[in-house]
Amino acid sequence: MNSKISEKDKNTWNEFLSSDQKLYDKDNFQTKTDVKKIRSLDLHGKTLDEANQIIEKFIKKSYEDKIQKLIIVTGKGLHSNNEKDPYVSKDFGILKYSIPEFLKNNQDLMKIISSISEASIKDGGSGAFYIFLKKK
């Protein structure tokens, strides 16, 4: 490797420094297609009724705002008290299971939802799920 800088390179560098030319900032560049339309909602600590009401309003508002992807965080149910109640199902009392079931049984919401799937690890893994909304 040559540690000496040529005169041509020095001149080019000095010309650049003295000009008004700007460098393209690839880290801060965004086009309209780069802007992700994503919203998230955390339902930790909510009762089933509260969560159902909140998520219904959240989905409808997001659809009106042309949001395409929703991240719904329910938690894994590890700290749920459902196991203590013999009259409550261990699975369907937990938001993780009951919210997707509520959505699938709500015909109005299913008209605007294209799919529901488990979230990736970075978005909450098995304690969260995605809702993809149809285009308005």
For residue range 55-109, what is the model confidence (pLDDT) as tens digits? 999 999 999 999 999 999 987 654 555 555 544 445 444 788 889 999 999 999 9
Per-residue pLDDT at 54: 94
| Residues above pLDDT 70, as percent of the chain | 74
Q: Which of 19-23, 41-45, 51-55, 122-126 has the lowest mean pLDDT?
A: 19-23
Distance CA 72, CA 127 (A): 9
Residue 7: Cβ within 10 Å count? 7
